[in-house]
Amino acid sequence: MSEEIYYWQALNRVMDTEMAADDSIITLGEDVGLYGGTYRVTEGLMAKYGEWRVRDTPISENSFTGLGVGAAMLGLRPVVEIMTINFALFAIDAIINMAAKIPFMSGAQFPMPLTIRMPGGVARQLGAQHSQRLEHTLMNVPGLRMVVPATPQDAYWQLRQAIHSDDPIVFLEHELLYFSKGMVDETAVVPPIHQAMVRRPGRDMTCIAYSRMVLVALEAAEQLATEGIEMTVIDLRSLSPIDWETCVQSVQQTHHCLIVEEDCRFAGAGAELAATLQERCFYFLDRPIQRVAGLDIPTPFNGKLEAASIPRTEDILAAARRLISSAGDQS
């Protein structure tokens, strides 16, 4: 049975049902308790499960994320909320040096059933310190897994899967997605957590995107269809690991590949995608792989400049047209 709900509601629903089913699940972070979470994800949980399971923490990202690591070693399944990814820079040691490495360095003696939730991305004029994307750093860490749900349905499925996993998983949300709506079917067959999905099929080119950029890519695909260009849109859903087979299969069919990412272009997810796909699809490609990405600039506060610093529908349209036209030969 499906129902149209907000992205934050999908997350909230998972937290509630999972916490009801398993008392080893706890959640902690700044304002997750009494306040109900900055984006309402933990709303109502403290009243229901008490303060030991829904813990408001001091502003100490490194130590409360590390607390999650230590608790996970003893068998709890903590869901740590970091208010925004920008604050996760304080917790990088707990995430990279501790969560990602303890299971390995201990010779697999300890599980790490830790989920670290946080929103990233450019929102609306929050300034350079509150508009970052950090996936380029976190996807480069062996031992860490990272999912990037774009829809309420995926938020629902993937959070549940992340909580059930014994690996540490970074659950990357997006500030502009919390209040997006979508159908959520709680009884549908669940795809594997790191599986990419074809959101829209198209014979002419393959567009690979993740998180909010999937929605922007779909808008562009709609427009391109009216011009007679059929663009496949693949929603990666996961940045570590990446479902290469789905990407390779599509690129081998369309012979054109466009990568869209909100993160800065330099040394990011798009660079990894382009490098690996050219290794695996070189003889299938009619044109060089193209990237549409965030500019390599701290996000400007000014609204117009901010909007221009990350991919917009028109940027994707222009890149797609270039890629498909003969002009692409010169790129």
Partner 1 sequence: MDKLQMSQMLRDMLRARAFEEAAAQGYAQGKIAGFLHLYPGEEAVAVGVLHAAEPGDYVVSTYREHVHALVRGVPAPEIMAELHGKKTGISKGMGGSMHLFDASRRFLGGYAIVGETYPIALGAAYAVAYRRLPEAVICFFGDGAVNQGTFHESLNMAALWKLPILFVCENNHYQIGTEIHRHSAITEVYKRACGYGIPAEKVDGMDVLSVHAAARKALERVRSGDGPQFLELETYRYRGHSMADPGSYRPSVELDAYRANDPIAAAIHEAESGYPSPEAIAAAGPDCITLFSAHCCRENHLDETGIARMRQEIQTEIDAAVRFAEASEEPDMETAWSILHANRRYETLMESPE
Residue 26 binds partner 1 (CB under 8 A): yes
Q: In the set 20, 34, 48, 60, which binds partner 1 (CB under 8 A)? A: 60
Contact (CB, 8 A) for 241 and 251: no
CA distance 231 to 206: 6
Among residue numbers 148 through 167, which ones bind partner 1 (CB under 8 A)?
165-167
Residue 71 binds partner 1 (CB under 8 A): yes
Beta bridge partners of 116: 80, 170
Residue 272 binds partner 1 (CB under 8 A): no
Beta bridge partners of 207: 233, 258
Residue 103 binds partner 1 (CB under 8 A): yes
Amino acid at site 156: Y
* 164 given a catalytic annotation: no
- Work out the angle at residue 132's Cα, subtended by the Cα atoms of residues 319 and 198, and round it to the nearest 5 degrees: 45
Stretch that binds partner 1, among 148-156, 192-200, 254-262, 295-303 (CB under 8 A): 192-200
* 174 given a catalytic annotation: no
CA distance 160 to 100: 20
Residue 18 binds partner 1 (CB under 8 A): no
Q: Give which of 251, 327, 234, 250 is closest to 289, Cα–Cα.
A: 251
Minimal distance in Å, beta carbon 111 to partner 1?
A: 5
Contact (CB, 8 A) for 224 and 133: no
Residue 74 binds partner 1 (CB under 8 A): yes
Q: Three-state DSSP class for 207? A: strand
Minimal distance in Å, beta carbon 228 to partner 1?
A: 28
> Residues interacting with partner 1, by CB under 8 A?
26, 52-53, 57-58, 60, 62-76, 78, 93-94, 97-98, 102-113, 142-143, 165-167, 191-196, 238, 241, 243, 245-246, 249
| Catalytic sites, residue numbers | 61, 130
